[in-house]
Structure 1
């Protein structure tokens, strides 16, 4: 199973609506299982750095099949830095969450622009609100 175009569009719409409801501005990226970008948007007032991080978060969560929050915690507990992954596109900042259907990763969502844990929570929340739940 792979992430379909209509699912990417539904997820993007839900993200924009939820961010507007919460009165926050974010950048978000949606990727396939290999980390390739399928969807991206940067709301007004969001920095270019946050936009780049959203893309890196989606890439990392997709490639590793786990949340970047968990990867960052593991790295700190095991005294590893991002170089451990030997991939310059990997980030350990929270906000990247894999999208799973029946336990199988079909893509990932990366959010940036808020505090790291808020990025993570918003990603989980929006995934749960869409057809991916």
Structure 2
């Protein structure tokens, strides 16, 4: 008689997936004419992958990481929502800023959760262009690699 076993599906952002998302982000940033930095973290906020395009400012990589960390730390809240929460209560967010494992926790537009089958598996942040461009680029990258599963 076969035993009844339960498979546990682990949802996480793999390093391969992270690299693919970043490559898609670089391609999209080049297409729209901006040099960006990208950072992808897992749900615990640990860095999985990052890249700074030629021409992106040196601090943009840490800003991207801080944006991604804030999204991960809040369970997948997109950066624009976090920026609004910061404006409403800056003292709370100001005190949380140093929690990012070596990068600041930045509640700012330019980050999105990474989802698989509706579950948050990580977050991506971008920096180097106006926030609307950062968001458009990472949205396109997520769509290119994950597609509708990231909804």
Q: 1:2 aligns with which of 9, 12, 36?
A: 12
Q: Deviations over 1:62-99 (max 9, x none)?
A: 111111111111222x2434225x34131122111110
Name 1:116's counterpart in structure 2: 131
Root-mean-square deviation (CA, aligned residues, Å) is 1.6
Deviation at 1:121, TM superposition (A): 2.1
Q: TM-score, normalising length from structure 1?
A: 0.88
Deviation at 1:109, TM superposition (A): 0.6
Structure with bigger gyration radius: 2
Gaps of 5+ in 2: 1-10, 99-103
Asked whether 1:32 is paired with 2:56, we answer no
Name 2:90's counterpart in structure 1: 80
Deviation at 1:29, TM superposition (A): 0.5
* Cα contact 1:100–1:132 (8 A) shared by 2: no
Gaps of 5+ in 1: none
Aligned length: 131
Name 2:71's counterpart in structure 1: 61
Deviation at 1:132, TM superposition (A): 5.1
Q: Matched residues in 1 for 2:16 and 2:51: separation?
A: 16
Query: Where do 4+ consecutive residues of structure 1 move more than 3 Å?
Result: none
Q: Matched residues in 2 for 1:11 and 1:94: separation?
A: 18
Q: 2:52 aligns with which of 39, 42, 49?
A: 42
Q: Matched residues in 2 for 1:79 and 1:40: separation?
A: 30
